[in-house]
Amino acid sequence: MAVDKNTYKILITGTGISGKTSLASRIEKDFNNHLISTSNKDVDWDKDALTIPSTNAYILQSPKGCEIEKAHKISPDNFNKILYCNPTLETYTEFLTSRACAWFREGIIEKGIDFNPTPYSIEKLPEIIKRVAKYSATREKLREEDKSYFNKFKSKTRIIIPEIIDSKELFFKNYDKTLEEILSEIRNGN
């Protein structure tokens, strides 16, 4: 990953189906409202995600938390801020239910892999149930591994792991404060 010192870089990470895309989209919208040119990329879908464009801000969404260096060769040290999506159990259940419904409705469980979209297919229900069970069963273990991994970067005050993320409160209670902090750092060239 090429490091551009003039671009403010934000890594948004967390376990699967934890609100990364929604949070990144919200931040991008708020940056655009403040006339900050922004590039928002997802390491899973954007082939050029690790190429930082000439913008004021760069948002990279990456799953796997503690696996990002190994899986994608992304060093947390290359980012000004790391936002770790950490939904409450209630909110996570809402996210997971919504995703399972979308998989069933669209007939696509894994974009880029599932080439046989069959909306409302009962044949896909076992795979959907299997994935929901897997996400539910591994969530807590993955969160703990991620927290342990990111703790070594906390001394640099780059990482924000909000204890509560709630879709009704823009994903975490201190969102507005965090946004202002980031905007201030961008304006001051930090």
The model's confidence at residue 57, banded by pLDDT at 50, 70 and 90, is very high
H or E segment at 184?
A: helix 175-187
Exposure of 144 by Cβ count < 10 A (0-12 exposed, 13-18 middle, 19+ buried)?
exposed
The model's confidence at residue 77, banded by pLDDT at 50, 70 and 90, is confident
CATH of region 8-88+141-187: 3.40.50.300
Q: Alpha-carbon distance 184 to 187, whole Å?
A: 5
The model's confidence at residue 29, banded by pLDDT at 50, 70 and 90, is very high
Sheet holding 159-160, edge to edge: 38-42, 57-63, 8-14, 81-85, 159-160
Q: For the whole model, what pTM was predicted?
A: 0.84
Q: What is the pLDDT of residues 169-186, one digit of tens each?
A: 545 667 888 888 889 988
What are the two backbone dihedrals, phi and then psi, of residue 40, each rounded to the nearest 5 degrees? -120, 115
Q: What share of the chain is helix, strand, coil (3-state, %, to 5)?
A: 50, 15, 40
Q: What is the pLDDT of residues 104-157, one digit of tens each?
A: 999 988 766 667 788 999 998 999 999 999 999 999 999 888 888 887 776 555
Query: What local confidence, expressed as pLDDT, does residue 52 receive?
Result: 78
